[in-house]
Amino acid sequence: MRVRSGFLGPAVLAAVAVGYPVVWLLAAPAGQPAGRFAGEICGAEAVLLFSCSLVLLTLLPFIEHAFGGLDRVVVWHRRVAFAGFALLVAHVALITSTPDPFETTLGHALGDVALAGLLVLIAWAAAPRLRAARWPGPIRALARTSYEYWLGAHRLTGLFVAVAVIHGAIVDPVMRSSSVIRAAFVVVGVIGVGAYAYRELLARYFVPVYEYTVGSVHRLGERTIEIALDPTRKRLAFQPGQFIVLAFGGAGAWQRHPFSISSAASDRRLEVTVKAGGDYTSRLVDDLRPGVPAKVVGPFGEFDYRRGGHEQIWIAGGIGVTPFMSWIRSLDGRFDREVDFYYSVRAPAEAVYRDEIEAATKANPSLRVHYVYSNADGTLTADEVLRHVAPDERPSIYMCGPPAMMQALASGFRRRGVPPSRVRYEQFASR
């Protein structure tokens, strides 16, 4: 059985990305200067990719399913946005190879605004992945900016894409000569800007928002809390392993943040586990109290062990244990998988759910837990995990934890010949 789903979305995305320039090539008027026409195609393809990135952020359920989970949607959103910006750079370099017969002050200014705005947003998104110490001060400052500030600025992407669409409609000489190309460009622009308008203005009227109240805040460790939420009206229905977007009232109210659900699907209370990492989560750990109102959107994600085979490996790193706790708390005595569960933390005191996990292993003998304390044992590796797997076994692997840990393990499994279809992990890098 395949663990990893979601090949339809990338396939459709690739087909659209390849098909659009083909339309330009087939419908191109005769006599176009080669360099300039290549630049026009790069610019149009950039608008297409940015429009696709805006469509991916609508959070529509069929898109999540097509890509195999919202985390995969975010990954592809990031990829196409970076590719779109690279094409914008190529567009600017090539477009100057031949004089523009339709260049106007307004059109040129709009192009500059779109390019500058998208440059800042792309640099901001990429900054945490760069070796910030080697870059100029502004890049280092962007890398240190909190997720909340970045998210607010990121919402401007659609406005700059709209400016780019208007710029292209005004100055592109090819569109003036080909109604097919002009129609295709307008359709692409309308879809992208329309998706942005839906997300910013209309989604709130179509996406259910569940109202909760903080019922209790239980401190699990020095910098970790478990928050229990009581529904004020209808409670959220979810599958174990899914996550939500959660906002709390009070001081600095209603900042949205994704959290994995740690409670059982049958519980009336909704529970999430929060570890102080950034500014926002640190404020929650220090200041959140019972009685604070909360709003929940979701659920999202397709992190579900029931889609995997009989033999499985679960790997949790730090706070990444949260979705596994939802799985464990939802066990009902009919657990039919053979599972080796690796729980990696720096020290024993950080294994916040140890007692509950051990109780679950006693009730379900086919669930075996292995604790890895990185301060003493070193970092968990794919070689260590697979050392205990028989040659004829083909386990399904589920992982959740810090992005660097997940990427290192995924690379290790690939080197050991484990097909990507048998490895599923949530990619929760915010930027």
Assess if residue 431 is contained within a domain. no
**How open is the CA angle 341-345-349, to the nearest 5 degrees?**
110
Q: Which of 137, 145, 142, 9 is nearest to 69 (CA)?
A: 9
Instruction: Output the pLDDT for position 2.
Output: 40
For residue 255, which amino acid is it? Q
Does any domain span residue 31? yes
DSSP state of 240: T
For residue 425, list its beta bridge partners: 399
Q: What is the CATH number of the domain that holds 241?
A: 2.40.30.10
**246 and 171 in a common domain:** no
* CB of 276 closer than 8 Å to CB of 285: yes
Mean pLDDT of 75-104: 80
What is residue 109's predicted lDDT score, i.e. its pLDDT? 82
Instruction: Give the per-residue pLDDT at 139.
Output: 54
* 281 and 381 assigned to the same domain: no
Q: Residues of the chain with pLDDT > 70: what percent?
A: 87
Average pLDDT over residues 327-346: 92
Please determine, for residue 431, whether its predicted confidence score (pLDDT) is greater than 50.
no
Whether residue 175 contacts residue 182, with contact meaning beta carbons closer than 8 Å, is answered with yes
- Give the residue from 186, 206, 226 where a domain finishes: 206
CA-wise closest residue to 302 among 256, 207, 238, 357: 238
Tally of helices (H runs) and strands (E runs) in the chain: 17, 11
pLDDT, tens digit, 9 for 90 and up, residues 16-47: 999 999 999 999 888 888 888 899 999 999 99
For the chain, how many structural domains are there in total? 3
Say if 237 falls within a structural domain: yes
What is the token pair recorded at 312?
Answer: 């499985």
Judged against a pLDDT cut of 50, whether residue 368 lies above it is answered with: yes
- Residue 221 inside a domain? The answer is yes
| Residue 174: domain span | 8-206
For residue 283, with 0-12 CB atoms within 10 Å meaning exposed, 13-18 middle and 19 or more buried, which class applies? Answer: middle
Residue 1 has pLDDT above 50, yes or no: no
Residue 395 in contact with residue 389, Cβ under 8 Å?
Answer: yes
- Confidence at 143, pLDDT banded by 50, 70, 90: low
Does position 327 have pLDDT exceeding 90, yes or no?
A: yes
Beta carbons within 10 angstroms of residue 154's beta carbon: 17
β-strands 338-345, 270-275: how paired? unpaired
Is residue 271 assigned to a domain? yes
Using an 8 Å Cβ cutoff, are 88 and 225 in contact? no
Contact 211, 57 (CB under 8 A): no
- Amino acid, single-letter form, for residue 177: S
As a whole number of Å, the end-to-end CA separation of the chain is 32
Q: Can you read off the two tokens belonging to residue 128?
A: 């945490």
Q: Is residue 401 part of a domain?
A: yes
Query: Of 334, 342, 227, whose CA–CA distance to 274 is shortest?
Result: 227
312 and 406 in a single domain? The answer is yes
CA distance 61 to 342: 31
Q: Name 82's Cβ contacts closer than 8 Å, sequence gap at least 6.
A: 122, 126
- Say which amino acid occupies 337: R
Share of the chain above pLDDT 90, in %: 45
Residues 6+ apart with CB under 8 A from 129: 431
Same domain, 326 and 387: yes
Judge if 97 and 225 occupy the same domain: no
15 and 106 together in one domain: yes
Length of the chain in residues, anyone?
Answer: 431
Residues 398 and 264: their CA atoms lie apart, in Å, by 18
pLDDT, tens digit, 9 for 90 and up, residues 170-217:
888 888 888 999 999 999 999 999 999 998 888 878 888 999 999 999
Residues 347 and 372 in one domain: yes
Residue type, 204: R
Copy the structure tokens of residue 77. 């959103």
Domain end, chosen from 182, 206, 230, is at 206
Does residue 391 fall inside a structural domain?
yes
Return the SS3 of 156.
coil
The predicted model gives 10-19 an average pLDDT of 95
| Same domain, yes or no: 260 and 197 | no
Q: Tell me: do 225 and 371 sit in the same domain.
A: no
User: Same domain, yes or no, for 247 and 125?
Assistant: no
Answer yes or no: do 33 and 102 share one domain: yes
pLDDT of residue 361: 93
- Assess whether pLDDT exceeds 60 at residue 151: yes
The mean pLDDT of the chain is 85
Closest by Cα among 370, 381, 263, 237 to 322: 263
Q: Is residue 198 part of a domain?
A: yes
Type and span of the H or E element at 423: strand 423-425
Phi, psi at residue 64, to the nearest 5°?
A: -60, -45
Tens digit of pLDDT for each residue in 222-265?
789 999 999 999 999 999 999 998 999 875 567 888 899 999 99
The span from the CA of 161 to the CA of 192, in Å, is 8
CATH number at residue 413: 3.40.50.80
Q: β-strands 367-373, 257-260: how paired?
A: unpaired
Return the DSSP state at 32: -
pLDDT band at residue 145, thresholds of 50, 70 and 90?
low
The pLDDT assigned to 141 comes to 59
Domain final residue pick, 277, 300, 323:
300
Do residue 309 and residue 293 come from a single domain? no
Residue located via tokens 């890509």: 67
Asked whether the predicted pLDDT for residue 326 surpasses 90, the reply is yes
pTM over 0.75: yes
Whether residue 299 has a cis bond before it, omega within 30° of 0: yes
